[in-house]
Amino acid sequence: MTGFDERIEAAVRALPSPSSAWIYDPSALVDRLASLREALAGHTILYAMKACANPAVLAAAARRADGIECASGGELAAATAAGAARLAFSGPAKTPGDLAAAAASDVPLLVHAESERELAGLAAAGFAGPVALRVNRGRALPGTHQMTGAPTPFGIDAAAAADAADLALSLGLHVVGFHLHAVSNCLDAAAYVAHVRDSVAWAHGAAEGRFPLRYVNVGGGLGADPRGDVIDVGALAAGLRGLDTGGAELVFEPGRYLAAAAGWYVAEVVDVKTVQGRAFAIVRGGTHHFRLPAAWGYSHPFRVVPGPREDRVWTDVDVRVCGELCTPRDVLNGGGRVPSIAVGDRLVFANAGAYGWEISHDRFLGHPGPELVVLG
C-alpha cells in the first residue's frame, strides 16, 4: 500500500479510542499539484473542491492552484473565505440566490451555465462577469461517472449549444467559451488527450461567427483510483505538447487527482467474529464516514496498525471489514487476508482523500462523527 509513513502511523496511534478519523496532509495535494503544473505548463488549473473541502486542504489549493471550481453557494462562500484568487461556478441546479451571490462576488468569478433557463437567471441577477456554456458533447471517456457523451442532467445538449450561445449573447451576457467536463477517474492518458484536443477544436467551431473564443474548460476527471492507480501525467504532457489553443485559455479542473493522496481514513476494530463461515472485523465508523467503497462497490485496501491487543488475536485470516451501521452494505473491504487482527487495532485506508468524507451520510443512526486531523 502506498501513502503510509511514520508520520501517518504516529497520527493513527495518537487518536483517542475507539477511533474513527480522517487524517489529512495538505502537502500531498501540494505535491500532486506541482507535478500537474509541470505537465500542463502554460495552462490553467482550478481545484474542484467537491473532491475534498477540508479547510486546510482547500487553503493549500487556494494558495497554489490558479483558482477554485465550486458547485454550490456553500462552496463559493468556503472558497472565498479560503482566499481563492479566482472562482468558477458550476452545478446544474443553481438557485436565484446562488446567481445573486455569483453576481455579488468580490473575487473574479466565471459561471459555467448549465441550461438556457440558467442563462435567463444570470441576466436577471445582473451577472456581468464571464460566462462559459457547459455542453454535453462528444463520446463518453473511459472512467467512472460519464457526464458527457451519455444522457445526463449536466449542461446543454450539443445540438442546442449554438442557440444557447445566441440566447446568452442576446441577453447581454459576456460569453467567453465552453465548459466540457466529461468524466471522473479517467486512467487512460491517450483518451484524455484526445478529449482535450477534440474539445478545443469543437469549441472553436461552435464559437465561430458568434463570439471570440477565450476559454475552453475541459473539466476534471484525471484519474487517481482509490485502489492506487493514477493517470500517467507524463503521457498527458507529451500528448498535449504543441497543442494550439488559438489564443483561448485552456483550463483543467481536477479534484480527485489532487486530493486522493491527501486523505487517510482510520477505523478501530471493536469486534472480530465468524458468522456462517466468514470472518468479520467490525469497526467504529464505517461507510457513513467513508462512503466511497460502498458507493462504488469496491474493496478499499487497508493496513493494520496493531493496537493494545487485550483480546484474542486472529492470525492469517480473510476478514470482511464492516462498519457500525445496521445494514449489510456497510462494508469497507469485502475480504482481505491479513497476517493478524484483533480488537483495538486501527485499520488505515490510504488514497481516500477524494470523495471520502465529502460524500458520506453521517446522520444515519446518530453515531458520533469522525475526528478530523490535519498534519502540519
Ligand X SMILES: Cc1ncc(COP(=O)(O)O)c(C=O)c1O
| Residue numbers annotated as active site | 326
Q: Specify the DSSP class assigned to residue 225.
A: -
Q: Would you say how long the chain is, in residues? A: 376
User: Strand 263-275 to strand 278-283: parallel, antiparallel, or no bridges (unpaired)?
Assistant: antiparallel
**Smaller CB distance to ligand X: residue 74 or 172?**
74
Nearest CB to ligand X, comparing residues 11 and 70: 70
Distance CA 258, CA 262 (A): 8
CA atoms within 13 A on the CB side of 229: 11
- HSE value, Cβ hemisphere, 13 Å, CA-based, for 27: 6
Point out which residues bind ligand X (CB under 6 A): 48, 50-51, 69, 90, 181, 184-185, 219-222, 253-257
Q: What count of Cα atoms within 13 Å lies in the side-chain half-sphere of residue 266?
A: 29
**Numbers of helices and strands, H then E, in the chain:** 11, 17
Q: How far apart are CA 96 and CA 297, in angstroms?
A: 36
**Which residue type sits at 119?**
L
Please, which residue, 165 or 222, has the CB nearer to ligand X?
222
Identify whether 18 is preceded by a cis peptide bond (ω within 30 of 0).
yes
Distance CA 186, CA 301 (A): 20
Degrees (nearest 5) of the Cα angle 367, 79, 87? 140
Q: Give the CA radius of gyration of the chain.
A: 22
Which is closer to ligand X, CB of 258 or CB of 321?
A: 258
Amino acid at 159: A
**Closer of 213 and 222 to ligand X (Cβ):** 222
At residue 256's C-alpha, the angle toward residues 261 and 337, to 5°, is 55
Gap between the Cα atoms of 294 and 18, Å rounded:
22
| Cβ closest to ligand X, residue 181 vs residue 195 | 181
Give the shortest CB-325-to-ligand X separation in angstroms: 25
Q: Which is nearer to ligand X, 257 or 265 (CB)?
A: 257
CA distance 271 to 313: 11
User: How many other β-carbons are positioned within 10 Å of the β-carbon of residue 214?
Assistant: 16
Give min distance, CB of 149 to ligand X, in A.
14
Closest residue to bound ligand X by CB: 220
| Amino acid making up residue 333 | N
